[in-house]
Amino acid sequence: GDPDAGLMFVGEGPGRNEDEQGRPFVGRAGDLLSKMIVAMGLSREQVYIANIVKCRPPQNRTPTPHEVDACSDYLRRQIMIIQPKAIVALGAPATKFLLDSSQSIGALRGSWHKYEGLLPNGPAIDVMPTFHPAYLLRQYTTDNRKKVWSDLQQAMARLED
């Protein structure tokens, strides 16, 4: 993505397609994410897309706390370099890591939170949690789509501040 991006997306980890291509979000969930980005009036080249873990967990299982820990310095440095205006956290593992919270994604999505994990005096970065595109594909209801679109609209408004 763009190293000067105002908006960063953080997902969970590579799936099979991502692992093969060495790029994030290039499978079905990636296609939906691309559509979401275009609907926001942006292109993939204008945002920065990262994942919590950098290797594919076996059978696509949720990364273990140890695996998240092993990759966290890399992600922290990505965030430090990009210093986006806002991060959209895609799904529960990204939200849990960025907000250090065990509250459910349903409870956290839809409002702004802060990522405080940069250097001790570094800036806190605004985080908007939303449902992961893979979850949305599984539960493609009008209600879920409205919720995600409303979260993304808040992120768009923050970019324009």
Which residues of the chain form contacts with ligand URA (CB under 6 A)?
11-15, 18, 24-25, 29-30, 51, 134
Nearer to ligand URA, 13 or 84 (CB): 13
Nearer to ligand URA, 29 or 82 (CB): 29
Partners of 51 in beta bridges = 11
Closest-by-Cβ residue to ligand URA is 11
Alpha carbons 119 and 141: distance in angstroms, whole number:
40
What residue type is assigned to position 77 of the chain?
R
CB of 119 to ligand URA, least distance (A): 26
Alpha helices in 46-121 (DSSP H): 65-82, 92-99, 105-108
CB of 161 to ligand URA, least distance (A): 27
Closest to 9 measured CA to CA, from 137, 117, 130, 120: 130
CB of 134 to ligand URA, least distance (A): 6
